Structure 1
Amino acid sequence: MGILGGNPKNEPLHYGEVYDLWQFSAMAKGCISNYRALQYHAGDKELKSVLHDLINQAELEVSECDTILTHNGIAPAPALPERPEAKLEDIPVGARFSDQEIAMKTAADSSMGMVACSSMMGKSIREDIGALFAKYHATKTAMGLRILRMNKEKGWLIPPPLQIKRPDLVQA
């Protein structure tokens, strides 16, 4: 059996895996705090449901990443303090995020999360770490599709410039 050929959970993490797990957990903790605040701003029921599911997913990611870090003797990033609850009507109009703004942010977060997961999968040499981020990637892909469809249905999607007229190809 070659080097690092046993049970992946008994293999050491390399520094890139340690940093990625730590950073991913820290970012997920930030998302939990951010999405909880945005839930107070959201008025649309479907958008609130998406935010709820994003929070649940981020909490799972924090739990799994922090467990691996702790098991390997690495202190995880500290959790952020809980936010006090707020009611939508108590948030001043000029300080309130619109549903469209919230939907755009969640779409961007989903996209960046998939890129981060792909990077982590590519650099992992421990199979369990690569598989963990493949699982997160699949979940973020499904959530991204859900957000995209919601944005299209509600008229919130702001597409980049569209190529309406295609240039004629010259046949040789």
Structure 2
Amino acid sequence: MTNIFSSLKDYLQMKLDDEPKNPLHVGEVMSCWMYLALMDEATVYVQIGLNTTNDDEVRKILTESLKQCDVQGQRFKEFLKIEGVHLPRTSEQRPNSDPNGVPLGVKMTDDEIMNGISMKTAAAVMHCAAAASQSIRNDVGMLFTQCMLEKMKFGTEVKEVMRKKGWIKVPPYYYPPGMPNQQ
């Protein structure tokens, strides 16, 4: 059975090779610029989380997120430099510190850290999907599609840890009028 994502990748790659390289349109530039800023700011959040937690599973997720943000950020930095686009200014990187030295009134809980990572991951996936669908150039669409798939895969790992630890925040269930009782 053909995998839909590999088919999409093959199709876009085929079209990418034949495509003339027009300049990026303002929407593509803005989408790339915003995603790079999102990755750089997420990196700072992850560094703060690493400086706060002692939980091994949370540290593993944060370390993986840090690597992914760095890889994806580098992709966009290289792409934007080639296209002649100035890079966004972002927050300063955080130095390593001892989680036990962080005062309790300042320290994020593991639940807060993981919910923040979950929200940032969901925001990245939605941004990538919107940007890929609005891109005219196939190379831009491909860049966002690749990042989206990586973030979706990572999001399933985050959800698994959050479910295991009981940290998923679930909105109230909706029961439409007239729905039979589900016992």
Q: Which TM-score band (shorter chain)? A: 0.7 to 0.9
The residue type paired with residue 82 of structure 1 is: Q
Measured after TM superposition, the shift of residue 29 of structure 1 is 0.8
Correspondent of 1:20 among 11, 18, 31: 31
The unaligned stretches of length 5 or more in structure 1 are: none
- 2:180 aligned to which of 164, 168, 171: 168
**1:163: how far off?**
4.9
Counterpart for residue 150 of structure 1: 161
- DSSP-derived class of the 1:77 partner: coil
Take 2:91 and 2:73, find their aligned partners in 1: how far apart are those partners?
12
The CA deviation string for residues 101-126 of structure 1, in whole angstroms up to 9 with x for no partner, is 11111111111111100100110011
Displacement after TM superposition at 1:162 (Å): 2.9
Q: Output the amino acid matched with 1:168.
A: P
Aligned positions of 1:78-117 closer than 5 A: 78-117=89-128
C-alpha displacement of 1:8 = 4.4
TM-score, normalising length: structure 2: 0.83
Counterparts of 2:85 and 2:18 in 1: how far apart (Å)?
20
Q: Give the residue type in structure 2 aligned to 1:48.
A: R
Q: Offset of 1:89 from its aligned partner?
A: 0.8
Question: Is contact 1:9-1:128 (8 Å) kept?
Answer: no
**Offset, 1:52:** 0.8
Partner of 1:54: 65
Specify the alignment match of 1:71 in structure 2: 82
Taking structure 1 as the reference length, what is the TM-score of the superposition? 0.88
Aligned to 1:43: 54
RMSD over equivalenced CA pairs, Å: 2.3
Counterpart secondary structure, 2:105: helix
